[in-house]
């Protein structure tokens, strides 16, 4: 598709799993789709751990909308389709820690993921997944602009106008913000509730060479 054409049916902000999958489906069925990615692939992303509900959804979307690539990122039985950079997840582990004390075995829980009927769940290497699905969206006809952050969204009588960091304007009948916690729509239209009801925190890290315990 000609990237100079600035009028689209659907504009998608973000080309992670959600944004690129939606772009694939819509383009597959004939809509003019443009996807904006603030960075460029391959790039770091979190959210690697599949669960049963997500895997079932990916398989269902693949069948309903005739986009078979989506099923590749569901469960272990599709592992050979996606390469060895991903892993197989066989359980969830929960460990309770008390400051200054060794780990107690009776404060640990492993929830086993059943292998039937589709195999264990997958643990995805997101930079490969996101890059692949974005490429698939292009193959189905979507326009993808990388290194193109959106700075402003304006609602119009016929849809929306999106402005890039370079001042270019793109119009669409609908916009989908798949930017995750950095959602431009949520920030611009003040849709977030910042009055947290808890004092908890979430942390993440990635490690190699961790011994069994």
The pair of three-digit structure tokens given for residue 88, joined into one six-digit string: 């197989």
The reported pLDDT for the residue numbered 2 is 40
The reported pLDDT for the residue numbered 43 is 92
148-162 pLDDT, tens digit per residue, is 999 999 999 999 999
49-92 pLDDT, tens digit per residue, is 888 889 999 999 999 999 999 999 888 777 777 777 888 888 88
DSSP code for 3: T
DSSP code for 70: G
Distance CA 70, CA 22 (A): 10
What is the domain-level CATH number for residue 165? 3.50.50.60
Top pLDDT among 192 and 70 is at: 70
Burial of residue 163 (number of CB atoms within 10 Å: 0-12, 13-18, 19+): middle
Distance CA 5, CA 206 (A): 41
Distance CA 161, CA 36 (A): 13
Distance CA 65, CA 185 (A): 27
Q: Does 19 map to a domain?
A: yes
List the domain range (segments joined by +) for residue 179. 7-48+125-188
100-111 pLDDT, tens digit per residue, is 998 888 998 888
Q: Does 173 map to a domain?
A: yes
Q: Does 135 map to a domain?
A: yes
Q: Does 145 map to a domain?
A: yes
Per the DSSP assignment, residues forming a β-bridge with 177 are 13
Q: Does 119 map to a domain?
A: no
Neighbours of 156 (CB within 10 A): 10
In terms of DSSP H, where are the helices of 65-170? Answer: 79-82, 126-139
Q: Does 139 map to a domain?
A: yes
> Which of the four pLDDT bands, split at 50, 70 and 90, describes residue 180?
confident
The reported pLDDT for the residue numbered 213 is 66
Query: Taking the model in full, what pTM does it have?
Result: 0.87
Residue 169 half-sphere exposure toward CB, CA atoms < 13 A: 6
Q: Is the pLDDT reported for residue 185 higher than 70?
A: yes
The reported pLDDT for the residue numbered 82 is 74
- Give me the number of domains the chain comprises: 1
Q: Does 114 map to a domain?
A: no
DSSP β-ladder status, 33-36 and 143-145: parallel
The reported pLDDT for the residue numbered 175 is 98
Distance CA 76, CA 58 (A): 13
80-89 pLDDT, tens digit per residue, is 777 778 888 8
Q: Does 160 map to a domain?
A: yes
């Amino acid at each position: 598709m000609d990237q100079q054409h600035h009028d689209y049916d659907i504009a998608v902000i973000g080309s992670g799993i959600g944004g690129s999958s939606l772009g694939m489906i819509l383009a597959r069925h004939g809509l003019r789709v443009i996807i904006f990615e603030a960075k460029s692939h391959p790039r770091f992303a979190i959210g690697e751990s599949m669960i049963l509900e997500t895997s079932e959804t990916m398989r269902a979307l693949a069948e309903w909308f005739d986009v078979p690539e989506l099923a590749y990122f569901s469960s272990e039985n599709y592992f050979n389709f996606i390469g060895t950079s991903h892993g197989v997840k066989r359980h969830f582990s929960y460990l309770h820690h008390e400051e200054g004390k060794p780990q107690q075995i009776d404060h640990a829980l492993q929830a086993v993921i059943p292998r039937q009927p589709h195999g264990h769940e997958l643990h995805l290497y997101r930079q490969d997944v996101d890059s692949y699905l974005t490429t698939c969206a292009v193959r189905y006809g979507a326009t993808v602009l990388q290194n193109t952050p959106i700075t402003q969204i304006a609602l119009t009588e016929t849809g929306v106008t999106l402005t890039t960091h370079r001042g270019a304007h793109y119009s669409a009948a609908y916009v989908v913000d798949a930017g995750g916690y950095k959602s431009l729509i949520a920030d611009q239209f003040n849709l977030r509730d910042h009055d947290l009801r808890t004092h908890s925190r979430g942390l993440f890290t990635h490690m190699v060479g961790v011994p069994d315990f």
